[in-house]
Structure 1
């Protein structure tokens, strides 16, 4: 029964494709039917059919004999004969565009190029157009896509999250990492701003990336969220001196916990969560003081990591309360790269540095469609316009109050 259903589906798809090809040729001939030679004969006429060929479609492999066109017109500029080329089924085509689109996605998510033939042959019923070389050729487009992305306009981006990740891929140098920037557009949607290779999260690497973003139209962000690596903050002070800094609370909690014994972790983590989730800055500062009194004598290093730079971890309180959940941490970047790590574990590397970076870009671009938009998107424009917020609440401007 299943075999019969598959045959019916394939036959229906074959007939639809044949009808579409015939209609395309008929339209072409009709449009050029008025062009004739000196003897009055039509220059564009039907000329039978091409040899049958197998084309891989979602419905399965289909044998198609495309109609031929005899076009006797001559290009006046080049002197060459004109040729009819079908937009539905190109002469070189052995698989539908949908199949071509899904192959790189399957490769990105873990299917090796050498596995395409046995796997897809079982699914489509044919191995036509599914050689490893075909898949590799398709992936070359990723490099061009990444280069075009790196030239995109960033004038609409704000609220930047920055992080450096260390996936197990082949980059240009031994201590290389990936520098990633994620931003928020005026409509509240999150977007990938930039992704490139850097050396040890150094100030120079971050500064080069930020300068490139500035050339692409990125203005001083209202807030930049990042971890405690100093290279980022020094580069920001050089390139975007007006941008405020917000330390990631996930990284902050991790750093403080590393300075505490296991016996004190439970209570300390609850206190840190209370600071991060306090209803306003006043309550957060009270919890910090209590934390310092409780742990200051025994664990001064852990307490210093909270008290010495308290303004940066609490910067998010000066922005809309609806945005707080998005501004406390860079975790969206790290969670996105779980897909990258899954892929690199399968491939044991990604070839050349250029291919590795392009593959990571396409993985992140694929995940971007699932990123959660910022809550209270209508407030983003107010923040960019310079509106002032205190403890998450909009404060009326002085000129308006006057």
Structure 2
């Protein structure tokens, strides 16, 4: 198109065609300028001294925009790295994952009005099986590599978390457990070290998941932090042979539900005093005081506190600088909320692979951010932990997997 053609279309009121043509014109000029720099000469220019290579025609690519689909003619070079336009930044893995999940749901006939609105918002067109497969293959390869990478060095602290997602399975919509393992490396940096999905949070499932981490090299674990789950607690004892720290925040939330409304403030304040003690001995003394003080008014809370005492104050055996970050799963709340936000958008996953794909892409991005961010724990304080005892090798505990009780 010439400038006169563009002006004529505006005059005729063909605004949509004008916008599409204008974007196409600008994109073409950008590509021609960029490829001229890479080639070392403009189109038709004779520059023997500066020229690096020659042009070699064009390749067609559809570009989806807000003004519709534009057919780009991307210049090709005869040699060297292939030219890729700067304005066609590859989608981030998380964005690719959400697109892939939505498209796969659409192709498999499980779309809803909510999914249709999402498809419209992100501007995805042409829901073909070939297109879905192409995106999924690329993402699945990245997620698989991320999930199966070797774990090198020691990981003194491990957090375990589970979130239930809805998955379509054999014509039914069922709730499945999406489990994630986080850890702090010996260097003080946080990592996402594991991801899997299971039918239920049974002890056998948790054991196999933890064993898979050890087979990949997880070692040096001295404390595992998670919410309450009997099957998980038994699996930790078998696989890691290290103390388990029950999340104190979740414990407090559970305890206040065993009280009358007018007692909840008093109970919560008393429990917080236990988790803000000077040392482990002080914490034990405070537990005794809380039980003596509340036995007459909230006997159920006192009985549960006494039974869970060792699991609630396990973090006091480690360096004081780490206590705030070890006594609960709160440091991971932001990541967990992000997974929940994305899974809520999808609603029902078409299969297990789609759930792993979306969560894996999000966690891989989070892991990259942690790798370049400030250390979660200082190297000096981590040195105090690394002098402690190491856990048993995986071969010693593999034979007892089937002996674990199944906890729903």
Same fold (TM over 0.5): yes
Relative to 1, partners in 2 of residues 1:25 and 1:237: Cα closer, same or farther, differing over 3 Å?
farther
CA-CA distance at 1:234 after TM superposition: 0.8
CA-CA distance at 1:53 after TM superposition: 4.6
Relative to 1, partners in 2 of residues 1:271 and 1:98: Cα closer, same or farther, differing over 3 Å?
farther
Task: Tell me the alpha carbon deviations over residues 209-230 of structure 1, each in whole angstroms, 9 at most, x when there is no partner.
Answer: 1111111111251111112211
CA-CA distance at 1:50 after TM superposition: 2.5
Look up the match of 1:40: none
Look up the match of 2:378: 376
1:252 paired with 2:246, answer: no
Distance, in Å, in 2 between the alignment partners of 1:282 and 1:176 is 41
Look up the match of 1:210: 210
1:163 paired with 2:161, answer: yes
Query: Given that residues 39 and 77 in structure 2 are in contact (C-alpha distance below 8 angstroms), is that contact kept between their aligned partners in structure 1?
Result: no
Distance, in Å, in 1 between the alignment partners of 2:118 and 2:295 is 60
Look up the match of 1:124: none
Distance, in Å, in 1 between the alignment partners of 2:255 and 2:119 is 51
Distance, in Å, in 1 between the alignment partners of 2:277 and 2:100 is 42
Look up the match of 1:39: none
1:140 paired with 2:147, answer: no
Relative to 1, partners in 2 of residues 1:115 and 1:292: Cα closer, same or farther, differing over 3 Å?
closer
Distance, in Å, in 1 between the alignment partners of 2:238 and 2:284 is 30
Counterparts of residues 277-296 of structure 1 (less than 5 Å): 277-296=276-295
1:87 paired with 2:82, answer: yes
1:231 paired with 2:238, answer: no
Distance, in Å, in 1 between the alignment partners of 2:382 and 2:88 is 37
Task: Tell me the alpha carbon deviations over residues 29-60 of structure 1, each in whole angstroms, 9 at most, x when there is no partner.
Answer: x9xxxxxxxxxxxxxx96x75257567599x9
Structure with greater contact order relative to length (CA < 8 Å, sep ≥ 6):
2
Counterparts of residues 63-212 of structure 1 (less than 5 Å): 64=73, 66=75, 87-89=82-84, 99-102=89-92, 105=95, 108=98, 131-133=126-128, 134=131, 137-156=134-153, 157-170=155-168, 174=174, 176-212=176-212
Structure 1 stretches lacking a partner, 5+ long: 31-44, 70-83, 90-94, 122-126, 388-402
The number of residue pairs the alignment matches comes to 340
Moved more, 259-268 or 135-144: 135-144
When normalised by structure 2's length, the TM-score is 0.70
Relative to 1, partners in 2 of residues 1:364 and 1:102: Cα closer, same or farther, differing over 3 Å?
closer
Moved more, 168-177 or 139-148: 168-177
When normalised by structure 1's length, the TM-score is 0.71
Query: Given that residues 165 and 176 in structure 2 are in contact (C-alpha distance below 8 angstroms), is that contact kept between their aligned partners in structure 1?
Result: no
CA-CA distance at 1:96 after TM superposition: 5.8
Moved more, 332-341 or 96-105: 96-105
Look up the match of 1:317: 316
Distance, in Å, in 2 between the alignment partners of 1:374 and 1:353 is 32
Distance, in Å, in 1 between the alignment partners of 2:98 and 2:363 is 10
Let me know the Cα RMSD of the aligned residues: 4.0
Moved more, 142-151 or 197-206: 142-151
Which of residues 31, 34, 48 in structure 2 aligns to 1:14?
31
CA-CA distance at 1:170 after TM superposition: 4.4
Task: Tell me the alpha carbon deviations over residues 232-254 of structure 1, each in whole angstroms, 9 at most, x when there is no partner.
Answer: 1211222222x121111012112
Counterparts of residues 254-273 of structure 1 (less than 5 Å): 254-273=253-272
Moved more, 110-119 or 278-287: 110-119
Distance, in Å, in 2 between the alignment partners of 1:20 and 1:135 is 35
Q: Secondary structure at the match of 1:196?
A: strand
CA-CA distance at 1:310 after TM superposition: 1.4
Distance, in Å, in 2 between the alignment partners of 1:245 and 1:300 is 25
CA-CA distance at 1:140 after TM superposition: 3.4
CA-CA distance at 1:104 after TM superposition: 5.0
Relative to 1, partners in 2 of residues 1:85 and 1:161: Cα closer, same or farther, differing over 3 Å?
same
Distance, in Å, in 1 between the alignment partners of 2:72 and 2:189 is 45
Q: Secondary structure at the match of 1:339?
A: helix
Distance, in Å, in 2 between the alignment partners of 1:358 and 1:325 is 32
